[in-house]
Amino acid sequence: MDLHRLGLIGNCQIAALVRDDGAIVWSCLPRFDAPPVFGALLDAVSGGHFTIGPADASPGTQRYLTNTNVLETRFESADGAFRVLDFAPRFEEHGRAFRPTKLMRIVEPLSGTPRVRVNCEPVLGWSRVRPHRTLGSHHVAFEGYDDRLRLTTDAPLAYLDGRPFALTARRHFVLAWGAPVEEPLEALCARFLDETTRYWRRWVKLCAIPAEWQEETIRSALALKLHCYEDTGAIVAALTTSVPESPGSGRTWDYRYCWLRDAYYTLGAFRRLGHFEEREQFIGYLLNVASSAPTLDLAPLYRLDGRSDLDERIEAAWPGFHGEGPVRVGNGAARHQQHDVYGEMVLALCPLFLDARFRDQATPGALELVTALARKAADVAGRPDAGIWELRTEWRPQTFSALMCWAAVDRAARLARRDRPAIVAELEAAAARIRGEIMTRGIDPARGCLVADFGGRDLDAALLQAIPLGFLEPGDPVARATIDTVRAELDLHGFLRRYRADDGFGTPSVAFTLCTFWLVEALARIGDRTAARRVLDGLRRVRAPLGLLSEDIDPATGLMWGNFPQAYSHVGQIHAAFAASPGWHEIGL
Q: Tens digit of pLDDT for each residue in 353-392? A: 998 998 888 899 999 999 999 999 999 999 999 889 887 7
User: What is the rounded distance in angstroms from the CA atom of residue 149 to the CA atom of residue 32?
Assistant: 16
Q: What angle do CA 372, 438, 575 make, to 5 degrees?
A: 75
Q: Is 69 helix (H, G, I), strand (E, B) or coil?
A: coil
- Element (H or E) spanning 250, and its range? none
User: What is the rounded distance in angstroms from the CA atom of residue 20 to the CA atom of residue 63?
Assistant: 10
- List Cβ neighbours of 306 (8 Å cut-off, separation of 6 or more): 232, 234, 285, 288, 289, 292
Q: What is the pLDDT of residue 294?
A: 86
Domains of the chain: 3-204 (2.70.98), 206-582 (1.50.10.10)
Average pLDDT over residues 432-450: 97
Average pLDDT over residues 64-82: 97
Average pLDDT over residues 258-279: 93
Residue 588: band (very low, low, confident or very high) from pLDDT cuts 50, 70, 90:
confident
- pTM listed for this prediction: 0.96
